C-alpha cells in the first residue's frame, strides 16, 4: 500500500487491495494504522496474513459489513494459507470469506497459526 494520501478522495475511483498484511504476519502496520491508510486510498481491502486470522480481532465489526462509505474502507475477511507441494516448493493460497469466518474455520485457523509458530 502506498504511503501518503491523495489530495481529494472524491476523485479517486473505487479501488481495492485484496492482499494486505499486518504485523501479525509479515507486514509492519497495526490494524488501526492499516485501516487509517486504507481509508485514504481504497473502498475495500482484505487482510490476508500468513496462516492466521488474528488481525480480525482488531477490526471493528462495522468494517466487515461490506457497506461502502466515502473515505472508509470496508474489509473482506481473508487469509493467506501456506501450502507445501514438496520438500522444495511452497505456494500461497488466498481465501476470502464474504460471509465472515465460521466457528469451524476459526478453530481450524487457530490450529494453522499454532503449527506455523512451531515451524
Domain residue limits, the chain: 14-118
The pLDDT mean for the chain works out to 89
pLDDT digit string (tens) for 64-104?
Answer: 988 878 889 999 999 999 998 888 899 999 999 999 999 99
Q: Is the distance from CB of 25 to CB of 52 less than 8 angstroms? A: yes
pLDDT in tens, 33-71: 999 999 999 999 999 999 999 999 999 999 998 887 888
Q: What is the pLDDT of residue 88?
A: 87
Q: Is the pLDDT of residue 10 over 60?
A: no
- The widest CA-to-CA distance across the chain, in whole angstroms, is 49
How many alpha carbons fall within 13 Å on the CB side of residue 104? 0
pLDDT at residue 7, rounded to an integer: 52
For residues 97-119, give the mean pLDDT: 91
CATH architecture of the domain covering 14-118: Alpha-Beta Barrel (3.20)
- Residue pair 9/38 in contact (Cβ under 8 Å)? The answer is no
Strands 44-47 and 16-20: parallel
Amino acid at each position: 500500500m502506498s504511503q501518503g494520501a491523495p489530495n481529494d478522495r472524491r476523485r479517486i475511483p473505487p479501488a481495492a487491495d485484496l492482499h494486505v498484511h499486518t504485523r501479525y504476519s509479515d507486514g509492519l502496520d497495526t490494524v488501526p494504522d492499516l485501516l487509517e491508510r486504507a481509508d485514504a486510498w481504497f473502498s475495500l481491502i482484505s487482510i490476508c496474513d500468513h496462516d492466521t486470522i488474528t488481525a480480525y480481532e482488531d477490526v471493528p465489526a462495522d468494517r466487515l459489513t461490506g457497506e461502502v462509505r466515502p473515505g472508509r474502507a470496508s474489509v473482506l475477511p481473508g487469509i493467506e494459507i501456506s501450502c507445501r507441494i514438496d520438500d522444495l516448493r511452497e505456494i500461497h493460497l488466498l481465501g476470502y470469506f464474504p460471509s465472515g469466518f465460521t466457528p469451524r474455520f476459526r478453530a481450524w485457523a487457530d490450529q494453522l497459526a499454532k503449527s506455523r509458530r512451531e515451524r
